[in-house]
Structure 1
Amino acid sequence: MPRAGALQLHPKTGLGLTRLGLGTAPLGGLFTPVSQAEAQATLEAAWQAGLRYFDTAPQYGNGVAEQRTGGFLQGRPRTAFVLSTKVGRLLRPGPLHQSQLDPQGQPFFKGVPPLAQVYDYSYKGTLVSLEESLERLGLKKVDILYIHDPDADGRSVAEVMQGAYRALVELRQQGVVQAIGVGMNHTDWLLEFVKAGDFDLILLAGRYTLLEQGALQELLPLCLQKGVGVVAGGVYNSGLLAHPGPGATYNYLPAPPELIERALALERVCQRHGVPLKAAAIQFPLGHPAVVSVLTGARSALELEENVQMFETRLPQSLWRDLVAEGLLDEQVPLPKED
């Protein structure tokens, strides 16, 4: 059966990422406040489960997730884990940016400092962002640096490449970071970045999942060709594949009826095989040879332990074949194999 703490070596960088990593947005109070004690317990549970890849960002709780993640990792041997953070949003006093607010006008992150996220993908802004992240983390280095959601503020690919990308390349050349990448939830934008630059990794959120495989057509083959490792995030499609049905969310908004029905159809096939939908969802992306790690968030030790359990649940090959046969998975999907 798959093991959450098994290392998958990325040949281009030499980084060994655990097959399951921890995304720290929930530890920054995404949707619900999380106490320091709860965050510490979640990080400890991840470490005890063998997870050694941790991803964070200034956006997550306006710096709170970085502080909590770094505070936990400070006591661990630096060579024992891989850490990524992101550039593109500076935290400054001021009114919140519209992107920080939900459709009701309330902040997405709860119980955190009311700092404004200022979008900055410039060369200088990227260097400042890393410096401030390291200060919050309390660490001397991060291993991976991603350009965060460069599609979110109306910038062109060319502008981001001239600014943030140029800074990241220099940081990699200087050995300040080991790997550089870009992370977002738009397949077409990611495709343009992979075409335009020499990235080591991409963080693909929500676009290569049990529910949708649009990245299979161009993006993932190109990543495989160029040796770009893919970290798959958003494997539950922001909740729809965790709890399908009325009230489910997709891309952090109420899910459309047709997607709810598709998720329920996926769940019915899983039930026939006696396995949870969440187990199929969390294991699915690693079937593709370009995918080097699956990143999931958790806001409690209990959620973390459930994610690990779902990841390590044995799934029969007949499940994947039935999903393809019923038109719920693309016929070209590389199916996960039993370890």
Structure 2
Amino acid sequence: MAVNGGRVPSGPRELGRSGVRVPPLGLGCAPLANLYQAVPEERALDTVRAAFDTGLTYMDTAPHYGVGLSEERLGRVLAGRDRAGYTLSTKVGRRLRPRAPDRVREWDFTRDGIRASLESSLERLGVDAVDIAYLHDPEDHVREVHETGFAALAELKREKLVKAIGFGMNHSDLLARFVADFDVDVVLCAGRWTLLERTAFDDLLPVCERRGTSVVVGGVYNSGLLADPAPGARYDYRQAPPELLARARRLAEVCAEFQVPLRAAALRFPFGHPAVAAAVVGCASPAEVRDNAELFAHDIPGELWQALVRRGLLDDDIPLPV
């Protein structure tokens, strides 16, 4: 296995024309807040430290993750670090309100709600500004996005409280509509542009390329199916259907012929499209961070992608990674 010392290869890429640059692999911080499994405090902090050590210096979080816990834990590691040494994104649209014994989430796409949400995030993160702010999962709030939500986000950018703005969700068709309608720097699209899923290639990626909007890809493992295609594996947050499980196993078999782990291929695949600037992977331990960094640096021969096309596992119109 050829790896680049466990560090992420290639240089940072600009998001749209925002001036914000991100490394190609970033840390998704939802697992820091006990997503799927409990993560002790010190392990969560060590996970973020490992991300800095391995070059995953783009970190994506949200108030929604653990009702603020992800931002709080991330902020503890960011304290005292050079602000120019990392890129940070959070999300707005779900505002946290105090309610004994903790906090609750409330949808709020008003100007005041979005500003209050960002201000609270800045307090939890311990920073004066974030680089990127996404409107989070607004699929059921399209009218509010058009009436108040995006204008509020654009105002924050004009005031330099954020440098780049966009949307984060797993509905690529709606993301495509938003990119067409608004001046969007970047979108975070989860699960729709993977070895198993080409939806974003048909609707979102063409309009992003045309408009100069960058794409950050999340969910490259499709909730776990492309990480370990074993019976009971999840796809889109629920148990994978048999036909997708069978296809994922065929993908793994072809990758094994080229001595490439399926996860390495899954991480690299989205970068075949020129609109893709980065991928973020959720990690719940330092070992997972290091593992993903090594997988991303794995030497993948071009013949693998061609073999996947020949065997009908990738469509022949799909752009393949170099």
Residue number in structure 2 paired with 1:309? 294
Distance (whole Å) between structure 2 residues aligned to residue 161 and residue 178 of structure 1: 21
CA contact (8 A) 2:16 2:186 kept: no
Q: Does 1:147 align with 2:135?
A: yes
Q: Please tell me the residue identity of whatever aligns with 2:104.
A: A
The C-alpha deviation readout for 1:258-291, integer Å capped at 9, x for no partner, is 1111111111111111111000001111121000
Q: Structure 1 residues 166, 43: CA separation in 2 closer, same or farther (over 3 Å shift)?
A: same
Distance (whole Å) between structure 1 residues aligned to residue 98 and residue 78 of structure 2: 27
Q: Does 1:136 align with 2:124?
A: yes
Q: Does 1:41 align with 2:46?
A: yes
DSSP 3-state at the match of 2:298: coil
Residue number in structure 1 paired with 2:187? 202
The C-alpha deviation readout for 1:202-235, integer Å capped at 9, x for no partner, is 0000000011111111310110111100000000
**Which of 21, 29, 35 is the equivalent residue of 1:24?**
29
DSSP 3-state at the match of 1:231: strand
Residue number in structure 2 paired with 1:102? none
Residue number in structure 2 paired with 1:58? 63
- Give, in angstroms, the shift of residue 114 of structure 1: 4.8
Distance (whole Å) between structure 2 residues aligned to residue 70 and residue 293 of structure 1: 22
TM score, norm. by length of structure 2: 0.95
- Give, in angstroms, the shift of residue 71 of structure 1: 1.7
- 1:1-339 pair list within 5 angstroms: 4=8, 6-10=11-15, 12-94=17-99, 114-151=102-139, 154-155=140-141, 157-337=142-322
DSSP 3-state at the match of 2:70: helix
- Give, in angstroms, the shift of residue 159 of structure 1: 2.1
DSSP 3-state at the match of 2:161: coil
The C-alpha deviation readout for 1:169-199, integer Å capped at 9, x for no partner, is 1111121110001010011111111111111
Q: Taking CA–CA contacts closer than 8 Å with sequence separation of 6 or more, which of the two structures ends up with the larger relative contact order?
A: 2
DSSP 3-state at the match of 2:265: helix
Q: Please tell me the residue identity of whatever aligns with 1:320.
A: W
Q: Please tell me the residue identity of whatever aligns with 1:20.
A: L
Distance (whole Å) between structure 2 residues aligned to residue 218 and residue 188 of structure 1: 6
Unaligned runs of 5+ in 1: 96-112
Q: Please tell me the residue identity of whatever aligns with 1:193.
A: F
DSSP 3-state at the match of 1:115: strand
CA contact (8 A) 1:87 1:147 kept: yes
Q: Structure 1 residues 11, 169: CA separation in 2 closer, same or farther (over 3 Å shift)?
A: closer
RMSD: 1.5
CA contact (8 A) 2:15 2:164 kept: no
DSSP 3-state at the match of 2:46: helix
CA contact (8 A) 1:150 1:184 kept: yes
TM score, norm. by length of structure 1: 0.90
- Give, in angstroms, the shift of residue 73 of structure 1: 1.3
Q: Please tell me the residue identity of whatever aligns with 1:64.
A: L
CA contact (8 A) 2:180 2:211 kept: no
